[in-house]
């Protein structure tokens, strides 16, 4: 897959509490701090912090970024149906989507590539904690897009998560990477 | 690093050692970082019972000699106005951050707007001097936060640092300067004996030196019109002289206080006036229009108050039109119209809680150049996107 180097737009969406905004911050930090590129992370959420639809736009570029919100999304992640419904707009014609296979049943593919992965189930059942969802998702996003190097992303995750859950997050991130690789086929 | 975190870090670098506040979205992260970081440098963080008390607390801290900060958003900014006026009148340096969200009232708590730019100027009653700064990117946010403290100390007056939800919550690459690169200004202290100190002297200079409490000087502090010693007076000559001096502190030093950016205006046929988050939209639109061969330039006030009117007039006088882009129903456009006589002004305004899409500006400029926008017009409502 060829990546737009001048402006690659990613949107993560989900429910408040799933960690998508933090996931976006980690991705931007990986690009800025560990790859020396430009990135912005711009979240949006409502007054209802937990349970309401949230999204975060991450734009990564070789050049300074003027407008900090996505206008033509290259990659869209949805971990909840309501956030898909609300925020799956402004997608590029060739946008790639990654959706939670269980939680986002209704997707309008419209000729676009839609990857399905039971992200929250992997975190909850396989790894034992739903809060690992965003690390699983990050791994899958990075495998699918190659937007930052996995080691850069891991350094950024490591800097953000508490020491006692570092190992769990590493497992989750690697599980996501593996799943993303196999989705690519 | 988010815009709010940048403000907190820069405030500490500027020498701020006191924060009092009451959490309010979208400014709360400033308080969160200050609560974490201030104790590490020997500073004091207090979560107060409300917004009014927070403003009172920073005035007290500043009188005691500390550089003090509070941060809020629209509803809290309204509550702070009474004490903000007190700080102007009693000449107490302090910095008030307003991370703007949609209004009026509690409005859109988590979404950006620029509806408080006039409140920053005239929110508190009576003629009063005010300085308000409004950066547009996070490296500039750092520098302007430091500058806000410097101007407060230098001119012995409150400084308002404006931001908005978009800048406050977004993160981007920030070049944090080394401490040695920063100029830090501290208030000038009196060099006379305590019994000869006149904290509000009208005769010798515009900004009288400021004695900190508990350093041997004592004086009276009041919101009432006061004489040179600080005690209330109704003497007409003194009342007039004090208020004129108060206003002159800012107006006579406007050249030192005003900063703005001019980008690509020299050969521009179309000029755009924008500030804060809206300037991000304007910059992206300008890049797109220039790539298409249309000559567009940006005038961006960084100091909103005092308003850099003469610089604006000079920079855009040759343009075919001036577009004013704001996330409000048309506030600074009035200020622009006061100065610009011969250039048609078109407003692009949005109050939906969403930032202005650069494409919306591009379309409006193109429509104007194609003759589809009828001029002259009072643009405020017509061109809302």
pLDDT band at A49 (very low <50, low <70, confident <90, very high): low
Dist. CA B318–CA B37, nearest whole Å: 49
Chain B hits for A89, Cβ within 8 Å: none
* Least reliable range by pLDDT among A40-44, A91-95, B376-380: B376-380
Dist. CA B372–CA B287, nearest whole Å: 22
pLDDT band at B372 (very low <50, low <70, confident <90, very high): confident
DSSP one-letter string for B158-210 = EEEEEEEHHHHH-EE---PPPGGG-----PPPP-S-GGG--TT-SSS-SS---
Of B25, B109, B171, the CB nearest to A25: B171
Chain B hits for A62, Cβ within 8 Å: none
* Least reliable range by pLDDT among A148-157, B236-245, B369-378: B369-378
The 3-state DSSP class for residue A160 equals: helix
Domains of chain A, first to last: 8-184 (3.40.920.10)
Q: How many CB pairs under 8 A join A and B?
A: 53
Does B118 have pLDDT greater than 90? yes
Dist. CA A15–CA B232, nearest whole Å: 57
By the 8 A CB rule, do A44 and A54 touch?
A: yes
Task: Please indicate whether, in this complex, the C-beta atoms of B166 and A46 are within 8 angstroms of each other.
Answer: no
Task: Please indicate whether, in this complex, the C-beta atoms of A68 and B172 are within 8 angstroms of each other.
Answer: yes
Q: How many CA atoms lie within 13 A of B281 on its CB side?
A: 27
Displacement of CA A10 from its chain's centroid (Å): 7
Token pair belonging to B283: 């910059």
Task: Please indicate whether, in this complex, the C-beta atoms of A40 and B358 are within 8 angstroms of each other.
Answer: no
**Arithmetic mean of pLDDT, B300-321:** 97
pLDDT number for residue A6: 84
Residues 9..68 of A with a Cβ closer than 8 Å to B: which? 25, 28-29, 32, 38-47, 65-68
> Which residues make beta-bridge pairs with A73?
A91
Dist. CA B265–CA A61, nearest whole Å: 26
Does B7 have pLDDT greater than 70? yes
Of B25, B170, B287, the CB nearest to A68: B170
B296, burial (CB in 10 Å: exposed 0-12, middle 13-18, buried 19+) = buried
DSSP H helices, chain A, are 20-35, 81-87, 119-121, 133-145, 150-160, 166-184
* pLDDT single digits (tens) B324-334: 999 999 999 99
Does B374 have pLDDT greater than 80? no
Task: Please indicate whether, in this complex, the C-beta atoms of B170 and A46 are within 8 angstroms of each other.
Answer: no
**Arithmetic mean of pLDDT, B188-211:** 96
Chain B hits for A10, Cβ within 8 Å: none
pLDDT number for residue B375: 61
pLDDT number for residue B384: 46
Does B247 or B341 have the greater pLDDT score?
B247
Does B121 have pLDDT greater than 60? yes
The 3-state DSSP class for residue B131 equals: strand
CA torsion, ordered A160, A166, A171, A173, to nearest 10 deg = 0
Token pair belonging to A170: 């590493």
Does A185 have pLDDT greater than 80? no
pLDDT number for residue A3: 63
Q: Which of B171, B289, B356 to mutate to test the interface with A (most CBs of A within 10 A)?
A: B171
By the 8 A CB rule, do A63 and A40 touch?
A: no
Dist. CA A82–CA B40, nearest whole Å: 43
Task: Please indicate whether, in this complex, the C-beta atoms of B172 and A28 are within 8 angstroms of each other.
Answer: yes
Domains of chain B, first to last: 3-181 (3.40.50.970), 261-382 (3.40.50.920)
Question: Among A148, A134, A145, which residue's Cα sits nearest to residue A73?
Answer: A145
């Amino acid at each position: 897959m060829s990546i737009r180097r001048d402006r690659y737009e990613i949107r993560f969406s989900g429910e408040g509490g799933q960690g998508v905004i933090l996931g976006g911050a980690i991705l931007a930090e990986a690009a800025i701090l560990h790859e020396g590129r430009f990135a912005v992370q711009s979240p949006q959420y409502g007054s209802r912090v937990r349970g309401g639809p949230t999204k975060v736009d991450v734009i990564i570029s070789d050049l300074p970024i003027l407008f900090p919100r996505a206008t033509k999304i290259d990659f869209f992640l949805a971990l909840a149906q309501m956030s898909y419904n609300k925020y799956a707009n402004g997608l590029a014609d060739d946008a790639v989507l990654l959706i939670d296979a269980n939680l986002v049943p209704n997707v309008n593919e419209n000729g676009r590539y839609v990857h399905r992965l039971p992200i929250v189930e992997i975190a909850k059942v396989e790894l034992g904690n739903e809060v690992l969802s965003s690390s699983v998702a990050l791994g899958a996003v990075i495998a699918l897009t190659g937007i930052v190097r996995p080691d850069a992303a891991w350094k950024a995750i490591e800097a953000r998560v508490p020491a006692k859950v570092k190992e769990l997050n590493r497992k989750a991130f690697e599980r996501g990477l593996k799943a993303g690789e196999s989705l690519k086929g | 690093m988010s815009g709010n975190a940048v403000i907190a870090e820069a405030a500490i670098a500027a020498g701020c050692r006191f924060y009092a506040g009451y959490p309010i979205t979208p400014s709360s992260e400033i308080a969160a970082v200050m609560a974490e970081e201030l104790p590490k440098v020997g500073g004091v963080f207090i979560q107060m019972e409300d917004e009014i008390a927070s403003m009172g607390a920073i005035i007290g801290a500043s009188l005691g000699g500390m550089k003090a900060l509070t941060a809020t958003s629209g509803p809290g900014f309204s509550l702070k106005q009474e004490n903000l006026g007190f700080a102007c009148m009693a000449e107490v340096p302090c910095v008030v951050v307003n991370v703007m969200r949609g209004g009026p009232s509690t409005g859109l708590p988590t979404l950006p707007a620029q509806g408080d730019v006039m409140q920053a100027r005239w929110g508190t009653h009576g003629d009063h001097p005010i300085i308000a700064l409004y950066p547009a990117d996070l490296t500039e946010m750092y520098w302007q936060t430091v500058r806000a403290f410097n101007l407060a100390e230098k001119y012995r007056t409150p400084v308002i640092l404006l931001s908005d939800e978009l800048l406050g919550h977004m993160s981007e690459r920030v070049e944090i300067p080394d401490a040695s690169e920063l100029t830090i200004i501290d208030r000038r202290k009196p060099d006379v004996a305590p019994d000869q100190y006149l904290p509000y002297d009208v005769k010798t200079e515009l900004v009288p030196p400021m004695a900190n409490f508990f350093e041997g000087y004592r004086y009276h502090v009041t919101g009432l019109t006061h004489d040179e010693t600080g005690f209330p007076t109704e003497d007409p000559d003194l009342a007039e002289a004090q208020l004129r001096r108060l206003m002159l502190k800012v107006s006579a030093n406007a050249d030192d206080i005003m900063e703005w950016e001019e980008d690509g205006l020299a050969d521009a046929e179309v000029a755009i006036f924008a500030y804060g988050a809206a300037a991000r939209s304007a910059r992206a639109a300008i890049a797109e229009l220039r790539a298409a061969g249309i000559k567009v330039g940006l005038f961006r006030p960084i100091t909103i108050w005092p308003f850099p009117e003469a610089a604006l007039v000079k920079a855009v006088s040759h343009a075919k039109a001036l577009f004013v882009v704001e996330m409000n129903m048309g506030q600074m456009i009035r200020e622009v119209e006061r100065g610009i006589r011969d250039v048609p002004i078109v407003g692009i305004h949005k109050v939906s809680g969403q930032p202005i899409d650069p494409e919306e500006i591009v379309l409006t400029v193109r429509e104007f150049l194609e003759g589809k926008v009828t001029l002259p017009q009072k643009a405020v409502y017509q061109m809302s996107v």
